[in-house]
Amino acid sequence: MNAALTWARLSFRQQRWELILVVVGTAIVAGVMLWFADALTAMIAANPGCLPTTDSGPAPSCVAVVNSYYETQGWADQLLLFSFAAPFGMGVLLGAPLVAREIDGGTAQLAWTLSRSRVTWLLRRIAFVATVVALLLGVLAVTSEVLAAALWPESDLAHDFTYIGRRGWLIVARGMGALGLGLLVGALVGRVLPAILASALVIGLAFTGLSLLHDRWLRADAVVWDQATQVLEHGSMYLDSGIRTADGTIYTWSEAHELGLDASYIDERGQMFASEADMVAGRTLGTDIAFVVPGSRYPTEVLRQGAVAGGLALGALGLAALVVRRRRPV
């Protein structure tokens, strides 16, 4: 027990200012999220005749209440951007300096000499930071879900793509991936400030690439939705629109445009026409459709993205261990 407390205390001292910054920042963001969630819930409870609004719009007596609610909702919606950015920020602030500071300060050689192995030393260093990051992001994962539920009280967010990546445990998984990349860049660069700058770039590029990969996977999971005749599953993710021609061929709008299938008119049944004259004559180009990923696919997609982020974390940690084993202090 004493050994664990000593390890935690020493680990904290080595990055105390960065840790204090992220702890305070997380506490503030989580607290504000809970405040907004409570405010939105209280507004709905206090004004059951006005909120939530209906498709016909608010009654004249409800306009002030609805406007206030929407203003609060807008601020709360923007707040979820912090939970999206937090994993990457922690990866840069806590991951990059972890090894780079030891090399930059000239203490790495002594630490590596005293340790049984460099890999053991690295694992002891990263274990404390990873635990802190997981706990802090876990707090944001919970509070972001609470806020999202307050923003969409009538939705089943367990099967809803709304705010994907900005709520839930995927935040934690991304944080582990970003932390691993920051650690790897710091071990390679060996200087604190350049490592922070380089890790911000690497993390940004890596997760942008993963986002493009996830988009390809989502398109492979997409189904065709006939906008005129089918009811869209709640919580589905809209990807693209298109047209189904009379012979049953399906095109996206960009593909249809290249083929000269430019529809300028659409009727209430979703039938599409090239001109008003064609509409009068009944010469249809096809039916209005969209490509969507059903909300029921949300848990699978979160699991897939989380597994990729976890794999990235383990891969980066393995490469960082290899770098540390072969690295010579500068």
- pLDDT tens digits along 77-94: 999 999 999 999 999 999
Confidence of residue 247 (pLDDT cuts 50, 70, 90): confident
* Residue-level pLDDT at 164: 94
CA distance 101 to 197: 14
* Residue-level pLDDT at 329: 56
Phi-psi sector, 19: left (phi>0), alpha (psi -120 to 50), beta: alpha
Please state the pTM of the whole predicted model: 0.88
Q: Check: CB of residue 137 under 8 Å from CB of residue 23.
A: no
Looking at 15-24, 98-107, 173-182, which range is the least confident one?
Answer: 98-107
- The angle at the Cα of 270, spanning 267 to 271, to the nearest 5 degrees, equals 70
* pLDDT > 60? residue 113: yes
Confidence of residue 14 (pLDDT cuts 50, 70, 90): confident
Which pair of tokens denotes residue 37?
């969630």
Return the amino acid letter for 235. Answer: G
* Residue-level pLDDT at 279: 83
In terms of average pLDDT, the best of 96-110, 148-162, 232-246 is 148-162
Question: Mean per-residue pLDDT for 167-180?
Answer: 96
Return the amino acid letter for 65. Answer: V
CA distance 187 to 181: 10
Return the amino acid letter for 77. Answer: D
Using alpha carbons, list the distances in angstroms from residue 135 to 23, 27, 82, 266: 10, 12, 16, 52
- pLDDT tens digits along 24-72: 999 999 999 999 999 999 998 888 878 876 666 677 778 888 889 889 9
Looking at 111-115, 144-148, 197-201, 232-236, which range is the least confident one?
Answer: 111-115
Closest listed residue to residue 299, CA positions, set 235, 239, 238: 235
CA distance 199 to 320: 13
Looking at 24-33, 108-117, 308-317, which range is the least confident one?
Answer: 108-117
Q: Check: CB of residue 194 under 8 Å from CB of residue 171.
A: no
